[in-house]
Structure 1
Amino acid sequence: MADKKAMTVLILMTSDVHGFVLPRDYGTGEPVAKGLAKAATLIRRLRRDYPWHLTLDNGDLIQGSPLTFYHARYGGDTPHPMVACLESLSYDAAVVGNHEFNYGPGVLTKVVGEAKFPWLAANICRKGTTEPAFGAPYLLRTFPGGCRVAVLGLTTKYIPFWEHPQNIAAWDFIDPVEAARVWVPFLRGEKGADVVIVAYHGGLERDPESGEALERLTGENQAYQICTEVEGIDVLLGGHQHRGVVAEVAGVRVIQPENDARQLAKVLLTLERDRGHWRLAGKEADLLKVGDVPVDAEIERIVRPYEEKTQAWLEQPLGRVRGDMRINDPMAARLADNPYIEFVNRVQMHYSGAPISCASIFADTCPGFSAQVTMRQILANYMYPNTLRVLRVRGETIRQALEVTATFFARGSDGTPGVNPAFCRPKVQHYNYDMWEGIEYILDISRPVGSRVVLLNRGGEPLDPARLYDVVMNNYRAAGGSLYGMFSGAEVVRDIQTEVSELLTNYFLEHEWVEAACDHNWRVIGCSGEEQGRSEARAYKTDVMA
């Protein structure tokens, strides 16, 4: 036993940073407890205490904030700010996330080429091959004493259900479970890894303790399946779901941080060497909130020039609204037609030529539009780089979609409407509640799920379930992902390649005034009297102001 030694390896991981660096809200300018600049302070501090370490990003790095939107559109050949930040922090590797593809192959290729660190994705292969598209899909680090720690990168296979075909035409997305079955034994055997870490841009589809499904098992998230079906994994670093998790699944330590660098994932591996072999003796995992941690001065210096250009762009005036198009109460805005969602749907119909449209309020933080509209407000409301697609679907398909939309609501014992927990866990999905224009409908949330559509007309006549209708929606919805599989495989009548945020911008630029109005073509009933009254009062107020 004389040759026995021990060492501790620190693993640090960010995930779903989504382009947020400085801790300020882009909509209000107020300080917020998030951002890579805060996480950077923790990273540098922790690494001083542990000489043997790995620092990783788990995907969805380059999309999601006005900073990264502006750079993707107007940054030209300048280095990507997120890559520059990770380089400054000496990141060892990054995993390719689903949102890395949003700006097209040109932006992704440029970002990967700029980085000195590798991008890992074992299950994203060159089209028609089993060859990982971004090079070796693993990182193998040998620490003093010969201890070998391997990191295997995997990505959700669900990307083709969301992404534009032209953005992913060069790649195939295979099952990450199957990829892990190939690469984990390879790392253990041929590469002699003493520790294998899977960095998976995906989350837990089942409760880690009970094994009960947390969501519809579509294959979007497969972390539980990877842990239970693939032998030889010590730690799984998760992401994608935007929720903090520390758990144990089949002996695998699982950790994933919240989005926007609100948390830093920390894993401590204790290894012991006995008779020439290293053995993993302990695994500790913790999520560190950035909270009141100060901003890292070097990261702030790097990002400042990019941020100044972004802020100037966000302040550009675009147009004016006559009336009230603000969202003061997100629940009320989802219970009855309102000027904001009416406007978004009308813009989609205007540029697509489709007679029917559906759209959503993506998050409760969406402010709507004030009297003077700026680029900042456009992106605060429409933060995703979605484009539009016109599908030709039957009336029955529209009814099915509305029944899914109606499941958004859960009634309290007093009849007060709330959000169905399925739309909040394991990930907040308010963007999966659609509001429609071009049809008239009523949803009664006091009725059982599956029978809540109590009125569905077009032009005052019942919608024909067998007739074909052209409907415009964003490309994410049109792909049939998440809850809306009924749209998958529908005939595509037209693809509008301009992003919706740009279409909204263009509409304001083309019109001196935009009226805040709505036709009240839909509403939700079955609420408590008080909430129903608030909804109807809001609708009346909108009519008067319009």
Structure 2
Amino acid sequence: MRKLPQTPISRRGFLACSAASGALIALHPYSARAAANQAHLRIMETTDLHVHVFPYDYYADKPVDTVGLSRTASIIEGIRAEATNALLVDNGDFLQGNPLGDYIAYERGMKDGDMHPVITAMNTLGYDAGTIGNHEFNYGLGFLEKSIGGANFPIVLANIAKKQGATPREDETLFKPYVILDREITDGAGTSHPIRVGIIGFTPPQVMNWDRKHLEGNVQARDIVTTAEAWVPQMKEEGAEIIIALSHSGIGAAQREDGMENASVPLAAVEGIDALMTGHSHLVFPSADYDGQDAIDLSAGTIHGKPAVMGGFWGSHMGLIDLLLERDGNEWRVVSTTSEARPIYQRGEDRKVTALVEDDPEVLESIRPEHEAALDYVRRAVGETSAPLYSYFALVADDPSVQIVSIAQSWYIEQMMMGTEYEGLPILSAAAPFKAGGRGGPEYYTDVPAGPVAIKNVADLYLYPNTVRAVKVTGAQVKGWLERSAGMFNQIEPGATDAPLLNTDFPSYNFDVIDGVTYQIDLSQPAMFDREGNVVNEETNRIVNLRYNGAPIDPEAEFIIATNNYRATGGGSFPGTGDTIVFEAPDTNRDVIVRYIVEQGTINPSADDNWSFAPMEGTTVLFETGPKARDYMESVALDIEDAGDNADGYAQFRIKL
């Protein structure tokens, strides 16, 4: 094997044989076979890190092998070594998402000149560029600006402006819309050449709703594709030979619509974009998750013929796009591509996790003081619970982990409504389980034993730093809200045996339970809404026996629903949301839960069983949940029996309807 040349396009030089193990690293075919007028450029992506630098689950307070930039970092060196030239970029959602991020935002704070630990870690690894995800705005613009102030790499974002002009190119953008990196690239003969790489960034325009408190009146958002169509030609005019789009936007519908949240497919069709780094959806591309979708070629790893990648979340994967470039006159052009998402761990047939990489000790040490401070932060007790808080059955029965969130929200909004025009209206509360298995795996559930409740437990009950909202709705909208939520379940034929209960395409965070009313869900009926919230069965009635104070709910009656900013502003497309907000709290849902527990001293989170499935004689369904659910099955108000484990490590339970 020929000696690997240095990689001048990367700011952190590396030689092939310097891996910790000392093993030789095979060159990518593009590097091994590039001719004198050809060069291999590898683009490495992290996305949706959500402050996961250490391989640590702060909620469970234990090390894990499935997350952490420190783990991803250890394969960055080897991945760089496989390529003659490499760039490292981050695709957003790095600033919020675990208690370390909350500790910095709420406890330590960010003064001018302070370093945010995730930025410290990224500086340690020598990132070349990054963009802003939607969650970067969760703590406010001031916090965001101070946090990224210490970045040793450019941050770009094209579709958020402090002041909009007549066209995107006339906007006063919040960050630089793009950057053109002047680099040296080494060809197959070992000769260096200049190259100009343009990098542009995008985030979902829905941030204007999701973080209205911080953004309204301060910035404006544009459609992703419209913005790209304006700026990419200018990047070409300024000499960008290769353009990389950092799209903190999921891979959604191929049909273009204005204001799309998941706009990466139509974005890939924009002329001039050569490679697309995607994210936001916490999935992997290329993978079977996207099999059969329009404009996608999974075998080639392309969207509209452009190479694309999505590198999972929390550091689970390193996204890789490899470009074989060829000299065309005085410019470079792409002649061949490959895409891959390389994992840091694997699950065996027994569902046990095997780490594929070690930690990068330099990354760990760079933020160890902040990590230790975050551990102290989450371990503080704030009260007691007289009963365990768990979410193993949250999708099939009224649940203590959801109940306590609802109770705290109602308690808070009752106080906030005093002295307002809405005082006296009935107050309901909507809450959903956030940790309910799914993509998180069979261990991804809330499980807090009876006894002391610490901040880490509250963060486990409520994963996101949402703020409390109150909306005013009608009785008809309450029913519509619950019909939307009932999309969690498949339609079940009466008399069926062991039919799969859960609709696996429906996210658990959209399964709202509304406390303050009682109701049943008739599974024999089709769902009223599809996954995106569009009405597909207008005449259906899954929600039956809906009552308030024991009487059938009046469709014209008015109610206040306590919820969060995501749901109240239209997240999930629920009836009764989007334009019905009557109160915007300055407090997060987590803070409200903590305050409630502190005031009560000891809480009783026992579920009140205000909802259930409508009986279906002679019918059984199968429900999958975490194996530890067996510890609590006797306390659930269901006719339920253990049905063993499935191949993915989940426990199965048979429910008689």
User: How high is the TM-score relative to the length of structure 2?
Assistant: 0.75
Distance, in Å, in 2 between the alignment partners of 1:146 and 1:165 is 45
Please tell me whether residue 276 in structure 1 is matched to residue 330 in structure 2: yes
The AA in structure 2 aligned to 1:432 is N
Report how far residue 255 of structure 1 moved.
0.8
- Matched to 1:498, the amino acid is D
Structure-1 residue corresponding to 2:565? 475
Distance 2:37 2:202 in 1: 32
Instruction: Tell me, in whole angstroms, the C-alpha distance in 2 between the residues paired with 1:277 and 1:355.
Output: 65
Query: How far 1:540 moved relative to its partner?
Result: 4.4
Question: Paired residue for 1:82?
Answer: 118
- Quote the Cα distance in structure 1 between the aligned partners of 2:637 and 2:38: 71
Letter in 2 for 1:366: Y
Deviation at 1:264, TM superposition (A): 0.4
Does residue 196 of the first structure (1) align with residue 279 of the second (2)? no
Structure 2 match to 1:241: 281
Runs of 5+ in structure 2 lacking a partner?
1-34, 166-170, 185-191, 287-300, 346-355, 415-425, 437-443, 529-540, 624-629, 639-657
Q: Does 1:307 align with 2:371?
A: yes
**Aligned residue identity for 1:23:** P
Within-5 A mapping of 1:247-326: 247-291=301-345, 292-326=356-390
C-alpha distance in structure 2 between counterparts of 1:58 and 1:30, whole Å: 25
Offset, 1:177: 0.4
| 1:411/1:417 contact within 8 Å kept | no
Worse-matched range after superposition: 100-109 or 338-347 = 338-347
After TM superposition, list the pairs within 5 Å mapping 1:4-83 onto structure 2: 5-28=37-60, 29-76=62-109, 77=111, 78-83=114-119
Q: Which structure has the highest helix share of the two?
A: 1
AA of the residue aligned to 1:489: D
Question: The residue matched to 1:107 in structure 2 has which SS?
Answer: helix
Contact 1:85-1:302 within 8 A present in 2 as well:
yes
Query: Tell me, what secondary structure is at the counterpart of 1:356?
Result: strand
Task: Summarize deviations over 1:258-316 as a string: whole Å, max 9, x none.
Answer: 11010001111111114433221211111111122110011010121111111112111
DSSP-derived class of the 1:335 partner: coil
Post-superposition Cα deviations, 1:47-87, rounded to whole Å, max 9, x if no partner, equal 24435221100000010011111111122334100010111
Distance 1:7 1:530, change over 3 A: closer
Counterpart of 1:466?
A: 556
1:436 has 2:507 as partner:
no
State whether structure 2 residue 138 is matched by structure 1 residue 102: yes
SS of corresponding position for 2:173: coil
| Equivalent residue runs for 1:222-237 within 5 Å | 222-228=263-269, 230-237=270-277
When normalised by structure 1's length, the TM-score is 0.90
Question: After the TM superposition, which segments of 4 or more aligned residues of structure 1 sit over 4 Å from their partners?
Answer: 534-537
Identity of aligned residues (%): 29
Which residue of the other structure, out of 507, 512, 532, is the alignment partner of 2:596? 507
**Does residue 615 of structure 2 align to residue 494 of structure 1?**
no
- 1:142 aligned to 2:183? yes
Shift of 1:116: 2.4
Which runs of 5 or more structure 1 residues have no equivalent in the other structure? 424-428, 542-546
SS at match of 1:410: coil
Q: Secondary structure at the match of 1:487?
A: coil
Deviation at 1:525, TM superposition (A): 3.3
**Counterparts in 2 of 1:459 and 1:218: CA distance versus 1, 3 Å:** farther
- Find out whether 1:390 has 2:454 as its counterpart: no
Q: 1:5 to 1:388 in 2, by over 3 A?
A: same
Q: CA deviation at 1:521?
A: 1.4
Partners in 2 of 1:374 and 1:526 — Cα distance? 39
Q: Residue type of the partner of 1:5? A: N
**Distance in 2, Cα, partners of 1:12 & 1:390:** 42
The residue identity in structure 1 corresponding to 2:400 is P
Equivalents in 1 of 2:48, 2:203: separation in Å? 13
Structure 2 residue aligned with 1:544: none
**Equivalent AA in structure 2 for residue 115 of structure 1:** A
Distance 1:416 1:539 in 2: 20
In the alignment, what sits opposite 1:404? 484
Question: Secondary structure of the equivalent of 2:490?
Answer: strand
Seen in structure 2, the aligned counterparts of structure 1 residues 186 and 399 have a Cα distance that, compared at 3 Å, is: same
| Aligned equivalents of 1:455, 1:447: Cα separation in 2 | 14
Aligned partners of 1:284, 1:317: CA distance in 2, in Å?
50
> For residues 537 and 370 of structure 1, do their structure 2 counterparts lie closer, same or farther at Cα, with a shift above 3 Å needed?
closer
Q: 1:420 maps to which residue? A: 503
Aligned match of 2:405:
344
1:369 correspondence with 2:448: yes
Is the 2:380–2:454 contact (alpha carbons within 8 Å) kept by the matching residues of 1? yes
Deviates more, 1:386-395 or 1:190-199: 190-199
| Offset, 1:485 | 5.5
Question: Does 1:446 pair with 2:524?
Answer: yes
Q: How far apart are 1:500 and its partner, in Å?
A: 1.1
Is residue 41–residue 294 contact of structure 1 (8 Å, CA) maintained in 2? yes
Paired residues for 1:146-225 under 5 Å? 146-188=194-236, 190-206=237-253, 219-225=260-266
Query: What is the SS of the residue equivalent to 2:481?
Result: helix
Alignment length, in residue pairs? 522
Look up the equivalent residue of 1:482 and give its one-letter code. Answer: G
User: Which of these residues, 534, 545, 552, is aligned with residue 455 of structure 1?
Assistant: 545
With over 3 angstroms needed to count, the CA separation of the structure-2 counterparts of 1:476 and 1:12, relative to structure 1, is same
Aligned CA-pair RMSD? 2.4
